[in-house]
Structure formats: C-alpha cells, structure tokens
Chain A
Amino acid sequence: MQIARKLPEAITEVNDGVEIKIENMSVRFPERNGKYTVDALTNVNLEIRQGEFISLVGPSGCGKTTLLRAIADLQQPSSGSITVRGQTPREIRLQKKFGIVFQSPVLYDWRTARRNVCMPMELMGIPKQERTATVNEMLDMVNLLDFGRKYPSQLSGGMQQRVGIARALAIKPEILLMDEPFSALDEFTKEKLNEELLAIWSKAKKTIVFVTHNISESVFLSDRVVVLSPHPGRVSAVVDINLPRPRHLAIKDTPEFSALVAKVRNSFEGV
C-alpha cells in the first residue's frame, strides 16, 4: 500500500487502467411463486476503464439497471464476481466512493437544494466550512447557484435532477453511477443536460456508468456503448464510439453519428 501511494503510475500499470471488472456475472430473481427463477442477467463479462464514460443501453427488461445496481452493491450477483479497483462493491460503498443518480431526483423535500447537496457530506463528517464551499462549487457547476435556497417542490424537473447530480458529485466520488437520470425529462431539457453532463465529466474526470434506453443519448455521451438484450438479459455487443471530443449537440447531425446509432440499434438481439 505504501509503495502504491508513492508510485501512482505503478497502480495503473498493475490494474491496466481497469476500474470495474465484471466476470461471468449472473443475477437471477425468484418468480412470485418461488419455484422458478428469472434470468435478469446471464454471464456478463465487462471491463470498465478508469475515467471512461460508458453507457448501458437496451430495452426494458434487459437487465441494464440490474447491472448498475450490482456495481453499486444494491443487488447481489447470483454467481460470478464484480471487483471495483480490486475491491468488492461493498467495500467501495462503505468507503463512500460511489455517487448515484436515480431516475427520479430522490431529493429530500424538507431540505433546500443547498442542504440536499450537503447531505452526503454531513454523513462523511466533513466540517461545515468545507461543506459550504463545496456546495457553492457544485451548485455553480450545475448552474443553480441562485436556486440554493429553494425547496425541491419549487424547482422544475430538470433543476431537481441537476441538484441530484450536484449532490452525487459533492463527495467527490471515484465512480458516478447514473440510472436513466434524464428519461423523465422533455427532449429539450434532456439534450441540454446531456451537454452539461459532458462538460462536468470533462472537468471532474470520473468514471461514469450511465444507464439509458435512448440510443442517441448513449452514443452522444459515451466512449463505449454496452448493448444489452433481454430474455435472458445479456450483453450482446460493445460498440466503441470514436467521435471527437468535446462533443456538442451539432454532432448529432453528422453521418458518423447516424452510422453509430444504426450500429448500436443493429446490435440488439431478440426483443
């Protein structure tokens, strides 16, 4: 450990830059009567690199959310293994290194936007002065500095989701896990937040695992798109997105973008 701390590049070499490693993982859910099981995910093998923006895309029931939840230690795999930086997801969770953004903003109604962003830092025991400074920094990053004193019920859906993102980033997590964070928003707000998210990611340089059912969104955001197919849930393809960065919305009008969207779409099996 001591050597590793002195020589960070040594770790990179040993880890091969791999942040999350999933080997032969399966998740089975019991049916209602308990006799049968449903294969939510079968035999998933996936390596996610450090600092990578990776999307899990697929139709409902393909197990994309289950895969994200397994990484977050919210779901136990039935077989196979997940390691995050050489540790189990549980160990990483206990070290509070995950930031999670759910489909709904999951803000606490009785707290203002500022105090919502503050909440995870309170759990980490960060002193008040530092908390205040970080809250300002995070709200500034998501362009909500003027709305800090508002309660969630006073904010629009897009603003609430940005508060959720600010909260997830406030504890400077190593890995940001996002479960369809923009799917409840209208198309205009979603595209704007997509662009904002890329700007935040390029500044913060986190590993982001992003679950979506929107092919265009996944291609626009990601370094790689993991395509999942249902019955049973499985990884049917991993598509490299070699579009130049920084990306802006105009890139969606290029033939290269359309070709990649088609490639992802054609990777689905079954449905």
Chain B
Amino acid sequence: MKAINWKKFFSSPKWVTVAWVVGLIIVWEIGATIVAGVKRTPENVLPHLYQIIGSIFSSQKANSTQTALQIVLSNAWLTLERAGIGFLLGALVGFLLALLMSLFSAVEKMIFPYLMIIQMIPILGMAPIVLAITKDIDKSRIVIAAILTFYPVATNTLSGFKAVEKEKRELMYSYAANRFEIYRKLLIPSCLPYLFTGLKIAAPMAITASILVDTLQGGGGLGCMMSQSLKHAMTIYVFWQIVFLSAIIGILSYQLMAWLEKLVSPYSRNRKASGSEKAKELEP
C-alpha cells in the first residue's frame, strides 16, 4: 500500500483553497444560525447560504418584469462595462504617465507627489466633485474607475523602468542605441511584469469603485440595485447575490490580468518549468 504524504498533501495549494472555502462556509452558517435565533428578519442580517442559492434559482419576480438573478446580471453588465472602460483608460493614462516620468525627470518631480495626493482622497469624497465636473453620472463612474486604476499602473510601471539593471542599459549604450530603441527593445519589455502587477492591483479596484459610485445616483448598475435592495425597494436577496457576484467578478478580473501576463510573456511561464530541469552543459 502506498503511504500518503500527509505533510505534502496539506501544504498543496488546492488543499489550502478547499480548507479556506470550507472554513468560511462553516463560520458563515454558525453565524446565520445564531442570527436566525435572535433576529426577527434574519435574512437582512445574515441569511443561510442555501437561502441565497435558492434565491438565485427562484422564478419569483423581484420587480414587475425580472427575477432577482435577471436584475443582478443585467446590472452587473452595466457596472462591468463602465469599470472596464475606466480601467482601460486609466491603464493607458497610467502607462503613458510612467513613460513620461521616466523620459523626463522634471515631469516626475513635478507630478509624482500630486499623483499621490489624488490617491489619498477617498472615492466617496471624490465622486461628488467628479460628478459636478462631468455633470453625468455615467461619465463620472468611468472617470472614478480610471482614477483608481492609473495610480497603481503608473507607479508600478515607473519602478519597472527604474529596476532595469545598469549593465543592460550599458549594453544598449555600448551599441549606441538611441532613446527610442532603448525603450522599445529594453525598457518596455523589461517593465512588463511590473505593469501587470499594477494591472492586477487595479482591476478589482476599478470594479469596486464602479459599484461604489453606482450607489450615489440612479441609472442602473450593481451598486444602484444594492442600495435599492437594502432600502427594501426589492427583495434583500438581490443584495446578497450582488455581494457574491462582485467578489467573483473581482477575483476573475485579477485572474484575467494574470492570464494576459502569461500570454504576453512566455519567458516567465517557462521559468517555472525549467527550474528543475535546467539544460545540462554541452559536452565539447
């Protein structure tokens, strides 16, 4: 009989994930059971998981035309669209800013401290200002998502440009490469892992921001439905479904960035595989 390596089994990433999920379900259900015994409307505080799952498959209309799930999904699309546009804009602006800051140190000294200040203002404080400027809730949702995206992208990309080893730059210098060639052949490819770190931080943030800004005004979106549900304008299970769906979307947005990174940088995909089987030195 083959002995199972328990130590290895318990430290494998799959097992850790399973342990977390099971642990969360247990804690949730203990909480829900306690709440059910104490509160008069326990579903407003913490419903059982099966109640939430049941609401997903329920065919009962939550408003005049749609079930709870239909409401959540159609509004999720609205939120995702705004977050996506904002994210792309923010990533583009962030990358270009990093490029400008690395090209001209004067630009870096001039704008970098102020970028940090923008990042320090809470979204909920910034949202009314942006709304007042854009005069359109849809535009301001996109702008807020972009503002939250560009900072992690800009800072990470800039540190990527700065992290390039001196000798790699000197090699370009020794071949009398011009600035354009240095960026195209050295700096931009070597900052890609840093850029993706920024994107992976920013993607869930853009979605969170989009949902938060939804709550400020009507016009659809997950945040909008969330606040209506909390005000009992529709079933509370819309709220609970949104809680889970937004968590899933956040994780998926991160995974999407990780997948894109693997797609554009095959060398880092190979690095992991090659560790144990490094090519042997050739015989002469």
Interface residues of A (CB under 8 A from B): 72-74, 93-96, 98, 100, 102, 104, 106, 108-111, 119-120, 122-124, 143-144, 146-147, 150-156, 158-159, 171, 189, 192, 195-196
Set B173, B177, B186, B270: member contacting A151, Cβ < 8 A: B270
In the complex, the chain B residue whose C-beta lies closest to that of A112 is B267
CA of A119 to CA of B181, assembled, Å: 11
Query: Hey, which chain B residues are within 8 Å of A150, CB to CB?
Result: 279
Q: Is the CB of B284 within 8 A of A156?
A: no
Binds A, one of B3-11, B32-40, B123-131, B163-171: B163-171
Shortest CB–CB separation between residue B190 and chain A, in angstroms?
A: 7
For chain B residues 179-229, which have a beta carbon within 8 Å of chain A?
A: 181, 185-186, 189-190, 192
Q: Is the CB of B171 within 8 A of A153?
A: no
In the complex, the chain B residue whose C-beta lies closest to that of A162 is B282
Query: Hey, which chain B residues are within 8 Å of A152, CB to CB?
Result: 267
Asked whether B1 is an interface residue with its Cβ less than 8 Å from the other chain, the reply is no
Q: Is the CB of A147 within 8 A of B281?
A: no
Known: A93-B174, A144-B282, A153-B274. A123 touches B181 (CB 8 A): yes
For chain B residues 262-284, which have a beta carbon within 8 Å of chain A?
A: 265-268, 270-271, 274, 278-282, 284
Set A100, A156, A195: member contacting B171, Cβ < 8 A: A100
Closest 9 interchain pairs by CB?
A154-B274, A153-B271, A151-B267, A106-B167, A110-B189, A94-B176, A100-B174, A123-B175, A110-B267
Q: Is the CB of A108 within 8 A of B167?
A: no
SS of B interface (majority): helix
CA of A120 to CA of B174, assembled, Å: 10
Q: Is the CB of A119 within 8 A of B279?
A: no
Q: Is the CB of B192 within 8 A of A110?
A: yes
In the complex, the chain B residue whose C-beta lies closest to that of A147 is B279
Q: Is the CB of A143 within 8 A of B282?
A: yes
24 contacts between A and B (CB under 8 A): A72-B174, A74-B174, A93-B173, A95-B176, A106-B167, A106-B171, A108-B168, A108-B185, A108-B189, A108-B190, A110-B190, A122-B185, A123-B177, A123-B181, A123-B185, A124-B175, A151-B266, A152-B267, A153-B274, A154-B278, A154-B279, A155-B279, A156-B280, A159-B281
CA of A111 to CA of B280, assembled, Å: 20
Query: Hey, which chain B residues are within 8 Å of A144, CB to CB?
Result: 282
CA of A73 to CA of B173, assembled, Å: 9
In the complex, the chain B residue whose C-beta lies closest to that of A94 is B176
Q: Is the CB of B176 within 8 A of A143?
A: no
In the complex, the chain A residue whose C-beta lies closest to that of B169 is A106
CA of A65 to CA of B283, assembled, Å: 31
Q: Is the CB of B168 within 8 A of A96?
A: no
Query: Hey, which chain A residues are within 8 Å of B265, CB to CB?
Result: 110
Shortest CB–CB separation between residue A117 and chain B, in angstroms?
A: 13
Q: Is the CB of B167 within 8 A of A102?
A: yes
Query: Hey, which chain B residues are within 8 Å of A100, CB to CB?
Result: 170-171, 174
Query: Hey, which chain A residues are within 8 Å of B274, CB to CB?
Result: 151, 153-154
In the complex, the chain A residue whose C-beta lies closest to that of B284 is A192
Shortest CB–CB separation between residue B181 and chain A, in angstroms?
A: 6
CA of A156 to CA of B181, assembled, Å: 28
Q: Is the CB of B176 within 8 A of A108?
A: no
Query: Hey, which chain A residues are within 8 Å of B176, CB to CB?
Result: 93-96, 123
Shortest CB–CB separation between residue B53 and chain A, in angstroms?
A: 45
CA of A122 to CA of B180, assembled, Å: 13
Q: Is the CB of A143 within 8 A of B284?
A: yes
Query: Hey, which chain A residues are within 8 Å of B186, CB to CB?
Result: 108
Shortest CB–CB separation between residue B192 and chain A, in angstroms?
A: 7
Set A96, A102, A143, A192: member contacting B175, Cβ < 8 A: A96
Q: Is the CB of B174 within 8 A of A156?
A: no
